[in-house]
């Protein structure tokens, strides 16, 4: 039961975090075509995501200690959801950058919140195993950010993809808040 109520929701968050981290590589040709972005612009978009993610790590630790992993990650994933939606509707580089920054902020807790939750909920002798499963969930997110995203782009454009990813972030946020 703990596996379903604790591991699965946090693993889904980390899956999404990794998917959002790598998706720019697949949608890059569409961004170049639709918005006339340069290689420098694409690099900047990716950098903004990582910068926001990294910049929030110190405040994240304080929030995890004060409010716990469930509340912290569920709230932050709402920022990722909003960022994905902003990214989807943006028509210029500044809007895309704002969206990616919010995505980076919003996914900044997806690994550390899970690790903290697992220490709280699982016996210490199971922590290495459950942490390895968590890392595997991220790997599946990275894999999903390749061919499955390319296949999805046959059904919709990059904007539709990011609306779906934003909805998924909101759904995972709700699962974390109400299930864990």
Residue 73 banded pLDDT, cuts 50, 70, 90: very high
Q: Is the pTM of this model over 0.85?
A: yes
Per-residue pLDDT tens over the stretch 80-118: 999 999 999 999 999 999 999 999 999 999 999 999 999
Report the C-alpha dihedral over residues 82, 85, 86, 90, rounded to 10 degrees: 180
Q: Please tell me whether residue 154 adopts helix, strand or coil conformation.
A: coil
Rounded mean pLDDT, 146-175 = 97
pLDDT confidence of residue 1: 78
Mean pLDDT of the chain: 97
Three-state DSSP state, 144 = helix
> pLDDT confidence of 2, banded at 50, 70, 90?
confident
Q: Are 23 and 145 in contact (CB under 8 A)?
A: yes
DSSP state of 153: T
Segment 85-91 long-range contacts (CB within 8 Å, at least 24 positions apart): 85/162, 85/163, 85/166, 87/162, 88/158, 88/159, 88/160, 88/161, 88/162, 88/163, 88/166, 89/159, 91/35
Percent of the chain with pLDDT over 70: 100
- Of the CA atoms within 13 Å of residue 92, those in its CB half-sphere come to 1
Give dist(CA 96, CA 4) in Å, integer: 35
pLDDT of residue 4: 87
Of all residues in the chain, the percent with pLDDT exceeding 90 is 98
pLDDT of residue 94: 97
Residue 75 confidence (pLDDT) above 90: yes
Alpha carbon distance 77, 151 (integer Å): 25
Q: Quick: pLDDT tens for 120-129.
A: 999 999 999 9
What does the pLDDT read at residue 3?
A: 81
């Amino acid at each position: 039961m703990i596996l379903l109520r604790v591991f699965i929701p946090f693993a889904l968050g980390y899956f999404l975090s990794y998917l959002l981290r790598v998706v720019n590589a697949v949608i890059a040709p569409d961004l170049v075509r639709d918005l006339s972005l340069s290689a420098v612009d694409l690099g900047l978009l990716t950098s903004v995501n990582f910068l926001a993610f990294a910049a929030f790590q110190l405040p994240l630790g304080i929030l995890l200690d004060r409010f716990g992993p469930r509340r912290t990650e569920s709230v932050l994933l709402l920022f990722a959801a909003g960022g994905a939606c902003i990214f989807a509707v943006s028509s210029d580089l500044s809007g895309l950058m704002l969206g990616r920054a919010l995505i980076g902020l919003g996914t900044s807790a997806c690994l550390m919140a899970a690790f903290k939750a697992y220490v709280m909920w699982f016996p210490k002798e199971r922590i290495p195993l459950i942490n390895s499963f968590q890392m595997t969930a991220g790997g599946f997110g990275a894999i999903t950010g390749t061919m499955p995203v390319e296949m999805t782009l046959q059904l919709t454009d990059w904007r539709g993809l990011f609306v779906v990813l934003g909805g998924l972030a909101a759904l995972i946020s709700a699962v974390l808040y109400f299930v864990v």
